[in-house]
Amino acid sequence: MADCCGAGVVVEKLLDILISIAKENISYMWNCSKNVQTCKDEVEKLDVMMQTLQDRINDATSKAEVPGKDMQKWMKDADKRILEAREFNEEAESKTTSCNLCTLYRYGKKATEIKSSLLTHQKDGEPFRKCDFCPLPTPVLTDTYKRVNLENIDSHKSTLSEIVLAIKNEDVQIIGIVGQGGAGKTTLAKEAASEMNDKFDHIQLVEVSVDKKKEIRRKLETAAKKVSYKEKVLIILDDVWEEFKLGDVGIPCVSEYKNCKILITSRNEDKCRVMNAQKIFTVMHLPEEEAWTLFKRVVNRSQWDERLERIGRKSVKECGGLPLFIQVLGMALKDKEFRDWETMLDLLQAPTVDEFTKEFRLIKKSYDQLENDVTKKCFLLCSMFPEDETIGLKRLTHYGLALGIFNNVDSIKAAISKVRYAVRSLISSFLLQPTERFNIYIVSREGEEEEFKMHDIVRKMALIITSEGNDSWVRTGQRLTDWNPNDCFDYKKISLIGNIIKELPDHDLQFSHLDTFLVQDNYLSSVPDEFFQGMEKLKVLDMSYNNVSSLPRSLKLLKVLHTLYLSENGSISEISILGELTLLKILKLRATGITNIPEEIGKLTKLRLLDVDYCAYLSCVTPGVISKLIWLEEFYIGMGEGNCDFVGELSKLKWLKVLHLKVPSLSNFPQDFRFEALMEFHIKDNVVFLTQTRDCKRILEISESTISVTKQIMELIKASEMLVLWKIKYFDDILLYLYEENLRYITLHECENVKSLVKTTDNDGHGQWITNVNLSSQLEEILLTELGHLQLLWDKPYQNISLCNLTTITISKCPSLLKLFPLSVAQGLVKLRDLEIHYCESLVAVISAGDEETTGMSDIELVDNDIKFPELSTVSLWGLPKLESFYSGHSKINYPSLKSVKLVGCPGMKTWSNGENHTPNIKFEDEETHSNINDYIKVLVEKNGDPNDWCSDDDDEEGIETQLAVAFLQLWYFGDL
């Protein structure tokens, strides 16, 4: 019964559907004429609407405005729909006069469908009745831009490729192109736009530096509307000087409009970062050959003789690799005679360059936009150094301190911070260039750690600025043999750096305005006694890197002198006259021939920096002198022999922040001296070890074989970041202090009684010294050489040992070393990059398993624990005859970064490890014969495992080279070379 009821309901619903369909179809036949008439009415309505919109378009066109892309498409579709509908209506009028039911059905249904389509289109067009129109677009950038030939201009070609890739990247919307004025930023932006022309509906360039925000907004109005219409738009904001929000110039929020890409060109990288550039590309100046290639293209000369090319190359070199200047030069010399080329070269080598007035204005604008006077004055001071010469941050600071360019600085540190900020701003603006520092072992004898350069073209512009105001008279690096001062009496600053001047005028000179005189790096052997008469306002005097033997009497007349550089004048020995310069703040006597610091130096009570380091013959400091220099902030002194009692006076220097001290003995430190108050120190006795100082500010080097481990020495060790111990006999007393978290680098050499690097128990093996502390957690590098009794690095227990920051470990000639890392310690080596072990005859494994007594886990339990060395890149194992494996256990180890394994003189090595090894980045020599590291090791052992191929004797070739290097360094350090 229930089944019958259910079936009845289904039948009833089915009948309703069929009846509804029948009614609809009958309606098409019954209302055919009505439907056709309704269709006619809607056609006319759409036609009226289209005419109304066309009137709006005509009115906008008269105002140099155009409709958006969507409106144009709507108008086109409307015209097509009206034409099709009218054709249908004409046909329907003739066909529906008969009573044929099929014909009535067909035309009645078609009229209904067309009417519905017309209504929908009218609805879609309603927004266009009130929409805004776009300004008539200017010619497309890529239509007017003529592309440049970058063939053989590889530096710019590669940068262009990177820019194009960034534009194609859907995740990158804002791209910065930065570089010096004239480097070719705008050209590369236009080149990228041309290359991507077919990928964008609209490309627009606006010179931001020329217009105010209101004008920029007006120019970008079309682009902004196209962005909002979801069209693909590329906007180039050229020559950005000040950061601004894109919304302030009418560009819709970029994060919400992925269809918009922004290219920013600027001479200031920081501005691009503030404007959220996701990729920033630096356009560097052209290398010499590429610059010459560009110049030849501009000149377009069919024939080149040797003379013309020589002059041409010299002229191009003066352009500093900047394409804008090279093109100006090429156009100026095109079709000109040889004598015109010679004249141009003379003009280019002159301090001012009239030919490039417009182009120099571009660079000067970078100078004008600098944020403060300190930065501007630092920039102009840099122009006093020779072309291509590095400029030291400290030297620049010392000059600036004397000249008073800083506002109310109370320390050298504060002044250095201001100069560092200024230099970074200048580098960001491409007015200075950073220099690469080589990975050297000893800091330069000048003590400079931060250096930079000034581009030749930028320097010319700076010299133009300084010469206009009679500020600086500069003749540097021109190989002048003498100097005629007659044309520079009115200048405030004179620079003669880097010439071959042997003599200065032997009469007094009336330089009433002179505050800076730089004559370093010349061939002066003497200075006339009267020379400094008439220079009463002199504040900076730099005569370093000459061979002056005695100081002139007129030097004492410089009563306002603040900075005096006499470094690297090896013949200067008598300096008592300097006591007359009572306002002196900076005194550099580095690498001079002085034998003592006389009593007169104690008069320099305003001195903030005293540098007498690298003075080979210095053996005496007059008692009481150092304690009188109460404002001293930086003290650099090196003594190979002599009385070191002056060290006891250091506690009187309450403002001392930097101490570089090399003395025969470190036993004279006063009990109340606070090493922790020093920001920087490099303290050493007679140790002569090739110490790589890295980025450390607190370095201690000790070499005395029977050093007395006093409380002050222990405090010094605790404060050190780098510790170098050479031939320390009583090592155990120092072990406890190696736990200090300040320690980042440790070097041990020939410390004969060392059995372990750090002990965690006392000498009797009873009570623990340290508990619940992460031992050596800050260590970054360990260097251990010639430790004859070293058996292990840490004794048990291992729970508190952390080497999470260790990056490098080098162990050489430690014949008793049994193992390096237990497994529990190795698991924490997450930053280890380089591992070298050489000539350790007893070593069986680098990582040893089986330390379950210290970890509470058995080796079997450890099998399931994967080990990972995320950053380990190179492993070098040499001269290890008993080495059986790198890891003696069975755990799986991942080496995702390992690229190089060197294995020489390890005949007993059978396998890398017994567990699984994952080494995705090692390039095996023959993938078919050894595709995993264990097979690879077998081949290396067969090839390099003969013990006769290596030796560990002290007189082998490597040992001889090391001894020679140390001997050379010792002679160099004490100035005997």
Given this model, what pLDDT does residue 673 score?
87
- The secondary element (H helix, E strand) that includes residue 22 is helix 2-30
Confidence tier at 382 by pLDDT (50, 70, 90): very high
CA torsion through residues 529, 535, 536, 538, sign = negative
Q: Are residues 151 and 229 in the same domain?
A: yes
Residues contacting residue 129 through CB under 8 Å, at least 6 positions apart: 52, 53, 56
More confident residue, 303 or 678: 678
Given this model, what pLDDT does residue 270 score?
85
More confident residue, 694 or 236: 236
Asked whether the predicted pLDDT for residue 956 surpasses 50, the reply is no
480 touches 386 (CB < 8 A) = no
Q: How many Cα atoms within 13 Å fall on the side-chain side of residue 357?
A: 2
591 touches 570 (CB < 8 A) = yes
| pLDDT (mean) for 625-637 | 96
DSSP 87-151: HHHHHHHHHTTS--HHHHHHHHHHHHHHHHHHHHHHHHHGGGGTPPPEEPPPPPHHHHPPPP--T
Of 64-73, 697-706, 878-887, 946-955, minimum mean pLDDT range: 946-955
Question: Is residue 582 assigned to a domain?
Answer: no
Question: Is residue 554 assigned to a domain?
Answer: no
Instruction: Give the integer Cα–Cα distance in Å for 347 and 514.
Output: 28
Q: Are residues 168 and 317 in the same domain?
A: no
185 touches 177 (CB < 8 A) = yes
More confident residue, 144 or 685: 685
Task: Among 113, 135, 157, give the residue marking a domain's end.
Answer: 135
- Tokens coding 113: 């469908």
Asked whether the predicted pLDDT for residue 569 surpasses 80, the reply is yes
Confidence tier at 958 by pLDDT (50, 70, 90): very low
What single-letter DSSP state applies at residue 302?
S
| pLDDT (mean) for 513-531 | 94
Q: Are residues 186 and 129 in the same domain?
A: no
Cα distances (Å, whole numbers) of residue 104 to 34, 91, 112, 113, 123? 11, 12, 12, 14, 29
Asked whether the predicted pLDDT for residue 112 surpasses 80, the reply is yes
Write the CATH number for 450. Answer: 1.10.10
Asked whether the predicted pLDDT for residue 57 surpasses 60, the reply is yes
| pLDDT (mean) for 318-344 | 80
Write the CATH number for 221. Answer: 3.40.50.300
Percentage of residues in the chain having pLDDT higher than 70: 80
Of 18-27, 33-42, 462-471, 581-590, minimum mean pLDDT range: 18-27
Q: Are residues 78 and 152 in the same domain?
A: no
Question: Is residue 126 assigned to a domain?
Answer: yes
Instruction: Give the integer Cα–Cα distance in Å for 311 and 319.
Output: 13
Coil vs helix vs strand at 215: helix
Given this model, what pLDDT does residue 502 score?
93
Cα 913 to chain centroid, rounded: 40
Asked whether the predicted pLDDT for residue 966 surpasses 70, the reply is no
Instruction: Give the integer Cα–Cα distance in Å for 137 and 219.
Output: 9
Task: Among 111, 135, 159, give the residue marking a domain's end.
Answer: 135
More confident residue, 266 or 350: 266
Given this model, what pLDDT does residue 267 score?
84
Given this model, what pLDDT does residue 305 score?
82
Q: For 435-488, write each residue's pLDDT tens digit.
A: 765 443 334 556 777 888 887 778 888 888 888 778 888 898 888 999 988 878
Question: Is residue 598 assigned to a domain?
Answer: no
More confident residue, 194 or 777: 194
- Give me the residues paired with residue 596 across strands: 620
Given this model, what pLDDT does residue 6 score?
54
More confident residue, 226 or 701: 701
Most confidently predicted of 153-157, 303-307, 400-404, 825-829: 400-404
Q: Are residues 101 and 151 in the same domain?
A: no
- Tokens coding 877: 């194992």
Residues contacting residue 542 through CB under 8 Å, at least 6 positions apart: 517, 518, 519, 520, 563, 564, 565
Of 536-540, 824-828, 883-887, minimum mean pLDDT range: 824-828
CA torsion through residues 7, 13, 17, 18, sign = positive
Confidence tier at 612 by pLDDT (50, 70, 90): very high
Q: Which domain holds residue 820?
A: 727-760+775-850+865-947
Of 269-273, 308-312, 320-324, 388-392, minimum mean pLDDT range: 320-324
Confidence tier at 585 by pLDDT (50, 70, 90): very high
Amino acid at 177: I
Q: Are residues 166 and 256 in the same domain?
A: yes
Asked whether the predicted pLDDT for residue 107 surpasses 70, the reply is yes
Asked whether the predicted pLDDT for residue 566 surpasses 90, the reply is yes
Q: Are residues 168 and 34 in the same domain?
A: no
Indicate the number of domains in the chain: 5
Q: Are residues 813 and 898 in the same domain?
A: yes
| pLDDT (mean) for 142-160 | 77
More confident residue, 492 or 733: 492
Given this model, what pLDDT does residue 767 score?
42
842 touches 825 (CB < 8 A) = no
Most confidently predicted of 417-421, 430-434, 973-977: 417-421
Residues contacting residue 303 through CB under 8 Å, at least 6 positions apart: none
- Tokens coding 946: 């003969």
More confident residue, 607 or 473: 607
Coil vs helix vs strand at 596: strand
Closest CA to 246 of 282, 267, 272, 283: 272
Q: For 277-330, write each residue's pLDDT tens digit.
A: 888 999 888 888 888 888 888 888 877 888 888 888 888 888 888 887 887 778
Given this model, what pLDDT does residue 924 score?
65
What mean pLDDT is reported for the chain?
80
Closest CA to 545 of 514, 499, 576, 577: 499
Given this model, what pLDDT does residue 603 score?
96
Q: Between β-strands 65-66 and 134-135, what pairing exists: parallel, antiparallel or unpaired?
A: antiparallel
607 touches 629 (CB < 8 A) = yes
Given this model, what pLDDT does residue 944 score?
67
Q: Are residues 242 and 123 in the same domain?
A: no
Closest CA to 655 of 635, 638, 671, 683: 635
Closest CA to 603 of 623, 587, 580, 627: 580
Q: Are residues 120 and 195 in the same domain?
A: no
Given this model, what pLDDT does residue 715 score?
84
Instruction: Give the integer Cα–Cα distance in Å for 227 and 172.
Output: 16
Q: For 882-938, write each residue's pLDDT tens digit.
A: 998 898 888 888 999 998 888 888 888 888 888 888 888 887 655 444 567 888 787
Q: Are residues 389 and 345 in the same domain?
A: no
- The secondary element (H helix, E strand) that includes residue 748 is strand 745-749
Given this model, what pLDDT does residue 251 score?
80
Question: Is residue 548 assigned to a domain?
Answer: no
Amino acid at 67: P
| pLDDT (mean) for 362-380 | 83
Residues contacting residue 214 through CB under 8 Å, at least 6 positions apart: none
Q: Where are the alpha helices (DSSP H) in 318-355?
A: 323-333, 338-349
Task: Among 444, 468, 492, give the residue marking a domain's end.
Answer: 468
E strand residue ranges, 454-579: 472-474, 493-495, 516-518, 540-542, 563-565
More confident residue, 421 or 933: 421
Q: Are residues 275 and 153 in the same domain?
A: yes
Residue entry with tokens 């007035």? 357
Question: Is residue 453 assigned to a domain?
Answer: yes
More confident residue, 510 or 690: 510
Given this model, what pLDDT does residue 867 score?
81
Percentage of residues in the chain having pLDDT higher than 90: 25
Asked whether the predicted pLDDT for residue 608 surpasses 90, the reply is yes
Closest CA to 749 of 782, 795, 717: 782
Q: For 736-758, write each residue's pLDDT tens digit.
A: 556 566 788 989 898 887 887 76
Question: Is residue 1 assigned to a domain?
Answer: no
Burial level of 764, CB count in 10 A (0-12/13-18/19+)? exposed
Question: Is residue 289 assigned to a domain?
Answer: no
Asked whether the predicted pLDDT for residue 194 surpasses 80, the reply is yes
Most confidently predicted of 516-525, 695-704, 715-724, 737-746: 516-525
